[in-house]
Structure 1
Amino acid sequence: MKRLGREFYNRDSLIVARELLGKVLVHEIEGQKVSARIVETEAYRGIEDKAAHSYGGKRTPRVEVMYGGPGFSYVFMIYGMHYCFNVVTREEGNPQAVLIRAAEPREGSELMAQNRFKKSYHQLNKSQILGLTNGPGKLCRALSIDKSLNGEDLCGGKLYVAEESQESLSIVTAKRVGIDYAEEAKDYPWRFYLEDSQYVSVK
């Protein structure tokens, strides 16, 4: 599979969010590879977006990576317990990003099962299989993505997104999830998901 290059990420987050669907997120860990096909994303458009961490030009150590160049990871924690993985988009100084909300396991499902449920994959029931990666915190735990990967170059060889040959995708556009504080921005249709995927977090 061909890795996505820097130019892919150096575009508006709305474009990148749609085009990440169907691509494969890969994490290579000490000789092991875990991967999952991206099925749900959310765009965050930076300074103008009341739901974005960088809204209004907010610049703190937490969000600093979003002000850097495109194609780097932005990993943050929510509720003090779950990590969320984002890809940074747009040119340096324009702090946009795309949250990866859900994915379908590809390689390394055994390691994912251990990470999520401390069980072997064949011991999982159907609900647990879907629960491996059907939410942003779940997929981070399954793919061993944590704060140590904040700022990771997605054009490198450790954590990256790759092309997968595919037929045309049926994409649904919807409101983003869990941002009720964002006033009118909570209603923007900036979430995208694959219609036929069982792993989408919210339909």
Structure 2
Amino acid sequence: MSDKLRRFFNEGTTDEITKRMLGTLLVYHSPKGLMSGYITEAEAYLGQKDSAAHAYQGKRTPSNEALYGVPGTIYIYSIHGRLCLDVAAQAKDVPEGILIRGIEPYQGIDLMKANRPKSGFELTNGPGKLMDALGIYDKEMNLIELGDTALDLDVDNVKFPKKIVESGRIGVSDRGTWTDKPYRFYVKGNPYVSKLPKREMDLKTYGWK
């Protein structure tokens, strides 16, 4: 991992890092070619105290071990038969993470469409969808830091949201009061946000400054 990316993850609380992650460029050097997309939506999970988190009450298993890694460690997990991409956000053994829920395609769009033959915003407007579009079908990169494998986060080539919306998390089974806490963040109006109604889409600027 680059020093700059390490500093990115070492400064701030998990929810602050999650908001700062919006507009950064998720990059995947796939076997088929380069693909990337600007992060439009992400959710913060605050570890042991968070009833919606995989490490709630200190749960630690081989499957969620990546959450206990250093900041920027990749955590790939499966839910409902699809893979999702999460990143550890705090110091080693502090199991807080950030789920990347949506990206706006930037590079390798034809490759994404070949991997996931969907048109328009459906291509990458959800955590499982973006993994399918990138062609990531296994957990081979699990437990590895961003930048030390084919996945990286470009914090120099960024877009800036006009406004960030905070909401309760979605797609999470009812796990107590934390399910509805406002730890889901997205770029207001960006059409590559999961389940965003058409009436709320900004099709001129996609919500960027």
TM-score by length of 1: 0.88
Residue matched to 2:148: 156
**Residues 32-51 of structure 1 mapped to structure 2, 5 A cutoff:** 32-51=33-52
Return the offset for 1:6.
Answer: 1.3
Pair 1:4–1:130, CA change in 2 (3 A)? farther
**Residues 2-21 of structure 1 mapped to structure 2, 5 A cutoff:** 5-10=5-10, 11-21=12-22
- SS of alignment partner, residue 199 of structure 1: coil
Inter-partner Cα distance in structure 2 for 1:4 and 1:159 = 16
Unaligned runs of 5+ in 1: 118-123
- Which region of structure 1 is more displaced relative to structure 2, 83-92 or 137-146? 137-146
1:7 aligned partner, one-letter code? R
Unaligned runs of 5+ in 2: 197-209
Residue matched to 1:23: 24
* Counterpart selection for 1:181 from 144, 166, 174: 174
Return the offset for 1:196.
Answer: 2.4
- Which region of structure 1 is more displaced relative to structure 2, 148-157 or 28-37? 148-157
Identity of aligned residues (%): 38
Residue matched to 2:65: 64
Return the offset for 1:3.
Answer: 8.8
**Residues 1-203 of structure 1 mapped to structure 2, 5 A cutoff:** 5-10=5-10, 11-30=12-31, 32-79=33-80, 81-117=81-117, 128-145=119-136, 146-156=138-148, 158-163=150-155, 164-167=157-160, 169-203=162-196
Return the offset for 1:71.
Answer: 0.8
Deviation readout 1:81-104 (Å, 9 max, x if unpaired) = 210001111000100100000111
Inter-partner Cα distance in structure 2 for 1:4 and 1:39 = 21
Return the offset for 1:68.
Answer: 1.3
Count residues with an aligned counterpart: 192
- Of structures 1 and 2, the one scoring higher in RCO (CA 8 A, sep 6+) is 1
TM-score by length of 2: 0.86
- Which region of structure 1 is more displaced relative to structure 2, 134-143 or 169-178? 169-178
Inter-partner Cα distance in structure 2 for 1:151 and 1:132 = 26
Pair 1:167–1:103, CA change in 2 (3 A)? closer
Inter-partner Cα distance in structure 1 for 2:33 and 2:57 = 41
